[in-house]
């Protein structure tokens, strides 16, 4: 059906249903019936909104509330623009005789740049998806450790117990405690049984965000801490990484456009969704910072009280991320099994991937700093550099001067911000360890 035998998993011949992969929609995965505008809105929302939102209030504290708001709306607009660059590039290539259906980001990379293009996309998707899962484990480990770290006798005993098992600190104990269960969940070969958990996870996320925002408003009425509007350039790089991380979802752009009924309205729906998410992110982050000021923690849940509601929110989010992790790892398995195991199911590759993710989570001390690292080092390349590059290569013979400068500017900006942001994030993480 496709470009070549090497087109790989994202465009294999349709002799049998393809395995779940990075472009498998979480809602309405079947190609028929096609999605309405409302369903596409929901799909885009689910593809983008995740655990990264929990680090936004801390980003407001580090970067300043006005600078962060400007970054949120700026990154949202740029992300939407780059998503549409991918859509326009695919439409251009599919209109040329000899090019077959382009189903995913990886297919587009292969069509434009050959095997190297697919390799780059695959590597970045692996790093991004695995990075999200590392963030999940860091959140679970740190949150569970704080939950059982209180003056009460029972909880102090639990903390001491978890600290003494094999000499592990509480965070390490809880991450290793998740490990055997994650091996079991990640052994499931299909997303069919896990997809409902993804929908439930987003419901839990939205519910938790709503409750946290109510708590923030209540605290805001009781406390009026001092806040700042702007910070320095280094803090700008930090905040940019977290915000870019929070808007990552470009891997779902092409599949969602393919399954939309009125494809000519996809850009409008995408713009509306990004605007809504921007308002949600801005409100959530600003309320958290205005309520707690310089006391805002890297995970906003750490600012919640030790009462029943705060405990239930933390436990709910931990359970949510625990069951979301195997879903987020599935694109990693699709790629590594295709490249190293002929596209067949491989249990030991999956277990090894879970082990690597767990080990990295043990080594990273700070949730928000890691978000900034993944956002700068991976998401800038995946979300800005590659879409502008692919669009430039596909249209280079017929581009206007404005379009030429637009692609080149985004490409250069993505590289500069990615490199500088990665360097700063690594410095921050190293400083924490010291």
- Rounded mean pLDDT of 225-234? 87
Return the DSSP state at 96: S
Looking at residue 98, the DSSP 8-state letter turns out to be T
- The region of weakest confidence among 25-29, 213-217, 311-315 is 25-29
Residue burial 46-81, b: 16+ Cβ < 10 Å; e: rest: bbbbbbbbbbbbbbbbbbbbebbbbbbbebbebbbb
3-state secondary structure 5-17: HHHCHHHCCCCCC
Residues 286, 298 contacting (CB under 8 angstroms): no
Q: How far apart, in Å, are the Cα atoms of 112 and each of 85, 130, 228, 312?
A: 13, 26, 45, 48
Confidence of residue 104 (pLDDT cuts 50, 70, 90): confident
* CB atoms near residue 189 (< 10 Å): 16
Largest Cα span, the chain: 73
What pLDDT, in 10s, does the model give residues 304-363?
A: 777 777 788 888 888 888 988 888 898 899 899 989 988 889 999 999 999 999 999 998
Specify the pLDDT at position 197: 66
Alpha helical stretches, state H, 186-232: 195-222
Strand (E) positions, 156-258?
Answer: none
Its pTM stands at 0.83
Strand partners, 260: 35
* CA proximity to 59, closest of 280, 228, 212: 228
Q: In this structure, are residues 379 and 240 in contact, taking their beta carbons and an 8 Å threshold?
A: no
CB distance 376 to 244 below 8 Å:
yes
User: Which structure tokens are listed for 13?
Assistant: 């011949």
420 pLDDT more than 80: yes
Distance CA 386, CA 406 (A): 13
Residue 280 has pLDDT above 60, yes or no: yes
Assign 244 a pLDDT band (cuts: 50, 70, 90).
Answer: very high
Least confident range of 89-93, 121-125, 161-165, 408-412? 161-165
Tokens of 84: 């549409």
The CATH-assigned architecture of domain 37-150+165-430 is Up-down Bundle (1.20)
- Range with lowest mean pLDDT among 139-143, 166-170, 182-186: 166-170
What letter does residue 399 receive in the DSSP assignment? -
DSSP 229: S
User: Which tokens is 172 given?
Assistant: 């390490």
Q: Domain extents for the chain?
A: 37-150+165-430
Stronger pLDDT, 430 or 29, i.e. the higher one: 430
Length of the chain: 434
- Report residue 265's pLDDT band, with 50, 70 and 90 as the boundaries: very high
3-state secondary structure of 35: strand
From the list 364, 359, 220, the residue with the least C-alpha distance to 283 is 220
* pLDDT single digits (tens) 139-151: 899 888 888 765 4
Q: Give DSSP secondary structure letters for 354-365.
A: HHHHHHHHHH--
Number of DSSP helices (H) and strands (E) in the chain, helices first = 16, 0
Residue 54 has pLDDT above 80, yes or no: yes
Q: Using one digit for the tens of pLDDT, what is the confidence trace for 374-414? A: 999 899 999 999 999 999 999 988 889 999 999 999 999 99
pLDDT the model gives residue 99? 64
Place of tokens 């249990």: 347
| Amino acid 312: pLDDT | 83
Mean pLDDT across the chain: 82
Residue 26: its pLDDT value, please? Answer: 44
Looking at residue 160, its pLDDT comes to 39
């Amino acid at each position: 059906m496709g470009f070549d035998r090497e087109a790989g998993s994202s465009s294999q011949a349709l002799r049998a249903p393809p395995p779940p992969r990075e472009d498998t929609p979480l809602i309405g995965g079947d190609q028929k019936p096609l999605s309405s505008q409302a369903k596409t809105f929901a799909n885009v929302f689910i593809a983008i909104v995740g655990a990264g939102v929990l680090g936004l209030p801390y980003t407001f504290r580090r970067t300043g509330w006005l600078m962060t708001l400007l970054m949120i709306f700026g990154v949202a607009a740029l992300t939407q623009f780059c998503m549409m660059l991918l859509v326009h590039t695919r439409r251009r290539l599919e209109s040329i005789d000899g090019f077959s259906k382009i189903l995913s980001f990886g297919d587009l990379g292969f069509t434009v740049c050959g095997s190297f293009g697919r390799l780059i996309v695959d590597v970045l998707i692996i790093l991004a998806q695995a990075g999200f899962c590392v963030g999940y484990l860091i959140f679970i480990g740190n949150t569970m450790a704080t939950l059982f770290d209180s003056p009460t006798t029972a909880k102090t005993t639990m903390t001491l117990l978890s600290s003494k098992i094999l000499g592990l600190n509480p965070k390490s104990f809880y991450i290793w405690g998740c490990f055997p269960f994650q091996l079991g969940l990640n052994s499931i070969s299909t997303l069919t049984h896990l997809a409902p958990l993804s929908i439930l996870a987003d419901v839990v996320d939205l519910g938790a965000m709503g409750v946290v925002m109510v708590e923030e408003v209540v605290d805001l009425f009781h406390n009026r801490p001092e806040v700042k509007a702007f910070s320095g350039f280094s803090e700008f790089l930090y905040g940019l990484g977290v915000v870019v991380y929070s808007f990552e979802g470009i891997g779902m752009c092409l599949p969602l456009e393919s399954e939309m009924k009125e494809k000519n309205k996809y850009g409008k729906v995408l713009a509306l969704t990004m605007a809504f998410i921007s308002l949600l992110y801005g409100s959530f982050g600003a309320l958290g910072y205005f309520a707690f000021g310089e006391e805002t923690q890297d995970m906003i849940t750490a600012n919640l009280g030790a009462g029943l509601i705060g405990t239930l929110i933390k436990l709910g989010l931990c359970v949510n991320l625990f069951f979301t992790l195997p879903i987020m790892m599935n694109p990693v398995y699709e790629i590594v099994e295709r490249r190293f195991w002929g596209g067949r199911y491989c249990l030991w590759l999956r277990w090894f991937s879970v082990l690597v993710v767990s080990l990295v989570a043990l080594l990273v001390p700070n949730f928000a700093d890691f978000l900034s690292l993944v956002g700068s080092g991976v998401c800038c390349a995946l979300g800005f550099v590659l879409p502008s590059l692919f669009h430039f290569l596909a249209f280079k013979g017929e581009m206007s001067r404005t379009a030429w400068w637009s692609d080149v500017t985004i490409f250069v900006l993505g590289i500069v911000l990615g490199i500088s942001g990665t360097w700063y994030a690594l410095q921050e993480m190293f400083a924490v360890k010291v």
